[in-house]
Structure 1
Amino acid sequence: MTDAAARLRATEPATWRDTASAWRSWASAAGRWAAELRSHAARLAAIWTGSAAAAVTTRLIRLIHRLTVFRLGCWAADQALSEFAADLARGRAMLAAAGESGVARQAILSLVARSDAATCERLNEQADTTTAEVGSTPPCTATPAEVQRWWQTLSPAQRREMLATRPGWVGAADGVPAGVRDLANRLTLEEAPGLDRLKERLDDGRWPRPYLMQLDTAQDGRAVVALGDPDRAGAVLTQVPGMTADLESFGKELARAERIAVRATELTPGASTSAILWLGYDAPDFVDEAANRSRAEAGAAGLRRFQDGLRATHLGEPAHQTLLGHSYGSLVVGEAAAERGLAADDVVFVGSPGVGVDSAAELHGAPAGRVWSSTSYTDVIQWAAVSPKSLVEDLIVGQAVPGGALTAFARPENDLFYGTNPSDPAFGARVFASRPDAGHDGYWNAGSESLDTLAAITTGQGDVIPR
C-alpha cells in the first residue's frame, strides 16, 4: 500500500464535517450579531435625529453589511469542506472496493488529490471580503444560459455585493450556480417564520449537504433543495412531488430524495450524485384542484427552465440528469417532457395518475428508451384517478351484470385521468418492479427493489431491467 493510500484509509471524513459545522456555527453567531445591530439601529432612529445620528446609523449599516459578507464566507467554507468530506468518503469506499488493483488505486488517489486542491482554492477565495457595485441585471426574459454568462462577467467582489444586497434576486435566478443560490437563500430564509424543520435540516450537518436553491414563502410556499452540489455531481436527480406537497410536508418529501442520493452512492461510489427535491410549483391541495392540469402546465415551464439552469451552471462534463415525478408531480414532468429540448437523460414516473399523453413516443423531450415507470399493485392512484370514460363504463357494468360492481371496481385501471397509465405495457415505458404492498408512497422504502432501481437510473445505468 502506498503512503497516499494509507493516509486516505486513515483519514476520517467526519473530521472535515465537524470543521464545516464550526463554520456554520460562526455564520449563525454573526447572524445574531447582525440582528442585534439592526435592533439597535431601529431604536436609535426612534429617539435620535441629526447629523450625529445619521453618522452612527451609517456606521451600523456598514457593520451589518460586513457581517453579512462574513456569513456568506462562512457558508462558502462549509460548502467546500462538506463536499471534500463527501469526496473523502467516496474515495475510501472506492479504495476498499479496488482491492489489489494498483491502477485503480492510483486513479482513486488522483481523484481525491484533485478534490483536495479544489477545496484549498475554494477556501482561499474566502480570504477576500471586498465588494464592488454591480450595474444592471439580466432581464426576466433571459435564458439560464444568458444569466450564467452574465454572472461570469462579474468580479468576485461584485458577486459578493449581489449576494449581500440582493439575495432574493440571486437565490431565484436559474443560471446562477447552485452554491451561490444556496448562500443567497440562506440569508432569505432567516426572515421567513415557521420553517424550523427546513432550517434544522440545513444546519444539522448530515450528509449529503443540502443546498437551498429556491425559496418562496407566499401561500403554501415553494422550495427547491439539492442534496449534494449538483454543479459538481456526475449524476443529478430532480424529483417532483405531487398533491399536498408544501413547505409543511417538505421534510417528508426531502427524505425520499435523500434515500435515492444515499443509495446511489452506496451502489456506485465512483459516481457523485446530487438529488434535488423540486417543489417549484403550486401543488394541488384538494382533489378538485388535482382534477385540473393547469398547475402542472404552469409548473412544467418552471421545471424546464430549472433543468436548463442545471446544464448551464454545471462544471466539467455534463451530468447525467434524471427527472422523477410522483403522483400529480408525474403530470408536471410529463407536461415538461412533451416538448422537445428538455434537459433530461432519463424520465421516471411512479404512482402516476397519467402523464398527459398516451404513449412514451409522445414525450418528445425524453430520449428514446429512457422513459421508466412503476406502479405498486396496492397504489390507490389506479382507482382514485380513473378516467371519466372508464368510470362510466364501470358504472354500466356494475349495474347491468350481477356482481358487476365487484368485477368493475375491484381491478386497477390503466385508463387514468391524465392518460394511459405509464406502467401499462401499452404505454411503451420501461416498467420496473415495486413492492405489491408499497401503496402510493412506498417506492422509496429502504431495502426495496424500486429504491435500488431509482438509484441505478439516477446514475445512468441503462440496463437495470430488461427491455
Structure 2
Amino acid sequence: MSTATYALLRMTDPDRWRVAALAWRRWAALAGALGAEFGPVAARLRAAWSGAGASAATAALVGFRRRLALFRVLCWRADQALSEFASALARARDMLSRARGRADRCGLVIDDRGTVHGASPELPGVAAELSAALSLAATADTDATARLGSLIDAGSAEHRAPGPRPDCTAGAAEVRRWWDGLSPDQRNWLLATEPATLASTAGIPAADRDVANRLILDDQRAGGADEVRARIEDDTVLRPYLIGLNVSGDGRAVIALGDPDRARHVLTHVPGMTSDLESFGSELTRAERVAVRAHEVAPGEAVSAVLWLDYDAPDFVHEAWSDRQAREGAEGLRRFQESLRVTHDGPPADQTVLGHSYGSLVVGTAAAGSFAADRVVFVGSPGVGVDSASQLSVPAWSTTSRSDAIQYAAVSPGSLVPDVALAGRVPLIGPAIAFGLPEDDLWFGRNPSDPAFGARVFPSQADAGHLGYWDPGRPALDALARITAAQEPVIRP
C-alpha cells in the first residue's frame, strides 16, 4: 500500500484528477469519430472493388476499426480509474478538513507530519479522523496505481475468449463466474468487438457494461439517446456509468453515479409517472443530490446512486390507475438488485431502494417478495401495493409532505365514494371538508407515511409538494442521504 502523508493530502487537488479523467473520455470520443469515418469507406470499397486485394483492404479497415474500439475501451478504463481516485481523494480531504476544524475548536495543533499536539479529551478522536483520511487516500492511490498499471501493456494482440459461453438463460452468478474466468485482455477484446451482447447482461460488472453501452451509444440516433450522451459526458463530481440503454418507445436507461460495484452504499432511485429518456435528466439530478449529500455526512464511505428507469412508466393518469406496469417493472427491479449483489467487489454493499410516486408502487411490489436490498424508501406515494410494512421482506421508510397532492388525489375507491357524497350533501363547505384533508387509504393501499402502516416515517418540509423532496439544504434531502448512508435521519422538532 502506498503512503499518503498529511502534507501531501493537504496540497492535493482532486479536480486535477477529474480533468485528467475527462481528457481520456475525450480521447475516446475522438477515436469514435475517427472510427465512424471509416465505416462508409469500407462499404464503398466493397461495392466498387472485388478480388483478393479488395478483401485484404477491407479486412485491414475492419481490423483498424476494431483497434480503435479497443483503444476507446482502454481510454474509458483510464477515465474510470482516475474518476474514482478523484472521488476518493475528495472524500479524504473532507475528512481531513473535519479533523482540522475539530482540532482548532479544541486548541490542538497538527504539525506538518500530521501529528496532533496539545491537551484535550478530543485528541484521540482527532488523531483517529486523520488516520482514517490518510488510510482512505492511501488505499485509493494503491487501487488507482494498479488499475492504471494494468493498461500499460493491454491491447497488444487479439484475445479470443476460450471455452463455451453462458447461454441466454444463464443467471447473473453464472455469467459473473464466466467473466471472472477471462483474462483482462480477453475481457477488453470482447467489449471492443461484441459490445451489444454484453451491454445489458446481468452478471457483467457495471464498469464493463458502461464501456459496452458507450460503444453502442454511437449507433443510436433517437432524441433520447442524445440526452443520455450529453449527460454521461458531463464533467460531474460522480462519474456516470451507463449500465443499460434502450431507445425504443419512450426509452429506458440505467445510469449509476459512481461505480456501484466499488461503493459501500448503493442507492437505487426508481422514478414515477411520465419518466422517460426525454426527461430523465431531472431524475438523475435527484439521485445525484442524495449521493453528494450522503458523501458529505459520511465521507469515509463511497456512495453510488443509480437511476433505474428500466420499466414502462405510465405516461397518463388513466395508465397510472393500474398496477400492471408496476408489476412488470417489479420483476426487472428484482433482477437488477440481485445483479448488483452478484457483481459487487468485496463484502456486500449496503443497498437502499427508493421509489417516488408511482415508482414507490414498483418498489413496494418488488419488496413484497424476495428482494436484494437492506431497506426501501417510499417518497410521495400513492400506495405501495400492500397495507402493512409487515408484508414487505425488508425494512421500510416513508415520507409525504403535507403539500403533496398525491395524498389528496390518489384516494382509494372506497374513500372516494363517501367523499363525493359528503361534498354534494353539505352546501358550500362540503367539498372542502371532503377533499381538504389528506387520506390514509390511497389508490394502491394504505399510505406508507401513515403510522398505522408500520414504516419508519421521517418528516419532510411542508412546502415540498410532489417534487421538492430533493431541494438542496432542506430536511427531506438530508434524511434521504442519511438513510442511504445507513445513518439515522436528524429529526428536528
TM surpasses 0.5: yes
Residue identity matched to 1:249: S
Work out the CA distance in 2 between the residues paired with 1:379 and 1:103. Answer: 44
Counterpart mapping for 1:143-154 below 5 A: 143-154=171-182
Does the Cα contact within 8 Å between 2:4 and 2:138 map onto a contact in 1?
no
* Partner of residue 350, structure 1: 379
- Structure 2-normalised TM-score? 0.90
Query: Which residue pairs with 2:107 in the alignment?
Result: none
Identify which range, 446-455 or 146-155, moves more after superposition: 146-155
Q: After TM superposition, what 4+ stretches of structure 1 lie above 3 angstroms from structure 2?
A: 462-466
Question: 3-state DSSP class of the match of 1:172?
Answer: coil
Counterpart of 1:87 in structure 2: which amino acid?
A
Shift of 1:396: 1.8
What is the identity, as a one-letter code, of the residue corresponding to 1:427?
Answer: F
1:291-320 superposed Cα distances (whole Å, 9 cap, x missing partner): 111111111111111111111111122211
Query: What residue is the counterpart of 1:321 in the other structure?
Result: 351
State the 1:216 CA deviation.
Answer: 0.7
State the Cα distance separating 1:204 from its structure 2 match: 2.0
Is residue 453 of structure 1 aligned with residue 479 of structure 2? yes
Is the CA contact (8 Å cut-off) linking 2:18 and 2:82 kept in structure 1?
yes
Q: Secondary structure of 2:242's match?
A: strand
| Contact 1:322 1:346 survives alignment (8 Å) | yes
How far is 1:186 from its partner?
Answer: 0.5
Q: Give 1:401 deviation, angstroms.
A: 3.3
Q: Which residue of 2 aligns with 1:89?
A: 90
Deviations 1:337-383 (A, max 9, x none): 0013x1111110001110000010111x21xxx31111111111112
Whether the aligned pair in 2 keeps the contact of 1:95 and 1:108 (CA below 8 Å) is yes
Q: How does 1:41-440 map to 2 (within 5 A)?
A: 41-99=42-100, 100=116, 101-127=126-152, 128-129=154-155, 130-134=157-161, 135-193=163-221, 194=223, 195-340=225-370, 342-363=371-392, 365-366=393-394, 370-402=395-427, 403-440=429-466
SS in 2 for 1:213: strand
Cα distance in 1 for residues equivalent to 2:142 and 2:267: 27
Question: Structure 1: how far apart are the matches of 2:195 and 2:440?
Answer: 46
1:148 aligned partner, one-letter code: R
Counterpart AA for 2:77: A
Instruction: Report the secondary structure of 1:57's partner residue.
Output: helix
Cα deviation, 1:189-210, whole Å, max 9, x if unaligned, reads 1111223232122112211111
Partners of 1:13 and 1:86 within 8 A in 2: yes
- Of stretches 126-135 and 353-362 in structure 1, the one that deviates more from structure 2 is 126-135
Deviations 1:401-460 (A, max 9, x none): 343222111222111110001011111111111111111101000111000000000000
Tell me the distance in 1 between the aligned counterparts of 2:400 and 2:173. Answer: 36
TM-score w.r.t. length of structure 1? 0.95
The alignment partner of 2:199 has SS state of helix
CA distance in 2, matches of 1:427, 1:156: 49
Distance 1:438 1:3, change over 3 A: closer
The CA deviation at 1:151 is: 1.1
Give the Cα–Cα distance (whole angstroms) in 2 for the partners of residues 438 and 97 of structure 1: 31
Partners of 2:267 and 2:196 in 1: how far apart? 25
- State the secondary structure of the residue aligned to 1:296: helix
Question: Within 1, Cα distance between the matches of 2:252 and 2:143?
Answer: 33
Give, as a single letter, the amino acid of the residue that structure 1 aligns with 2:235.
Answer: G
State the Cα deviation string for residues 137-191 of structure 1 (Å, max 9, x = none): 3233322222211211122232122212221221101211111111011011111
1: CA distance between counterparts of 2:286 and 2:378? 14
Q: Deviations over 1:8-40 (max 9, x none)?
A: 110111111111111111101110111111121
In structure 1, C-alpha distance between the alignment counterparts of 2:302 and 2:188, rounded to whole Å? 28
Shift in CA distance, 405/463, structure 1 to aligned 2, threshold 3 Å: closer
- Residue 125 of structure 1 and its aligned partner are, at CA, apart by 1.7
Distance 1:298 1:162 in 2: 31
CA contact (8 A) 2:410 2:443 kept: yes
Hey, what does 2:29 align to over in structure 1?
28
**2:252, 2:309 within 8 Å by CA — same for their partners in 1?**
yes
- Measured in 2, the distance between the counterparts of 1:147 and 1:338 equals 27
Alignment RMSD, CA only?
1.6
Residue identity in the other structure for 2:443: F
Q: What's the CA shift for 1:465?
A: 4.7
Tell me if the contact between 1:131 and 1:160 (Cα under 8 Å) persists in the aligned partners: no
Conserved? CA contact 2:136–2:300, under 8 Å: no
Q: Measure the CA separation in 1 of the matches of 2:144 and 2:169.
A: 35
Identity of aligned residues (%): 56
Seen in structure 2, the aligned counterparts of structure 1 residues 112 and 70 have a Cα distance that, compared at 3 Å, is same
Q: Secondary structure at the match of 2:5?
A: helix
- Whole-angstrom distance in 2 between the partners of 1:304 and 1:465: 31
Report the alpha carbon displacement of residue 46 of structure 1 after superposing the two structures with TM: 2.2
- How far is the alpha carbon of 1:463 from its aligned partner? 5.7
Greater Cα shift, 152-161 or 252-261 = 152-161
Instruction: Measure, in 1, the Cα distance between the counterparts of 2:316 and 2:431.
Output: 27
Structure 2 distance, partners of 1:103, 1:461, is 20
Aligned twin of 1:441: 467
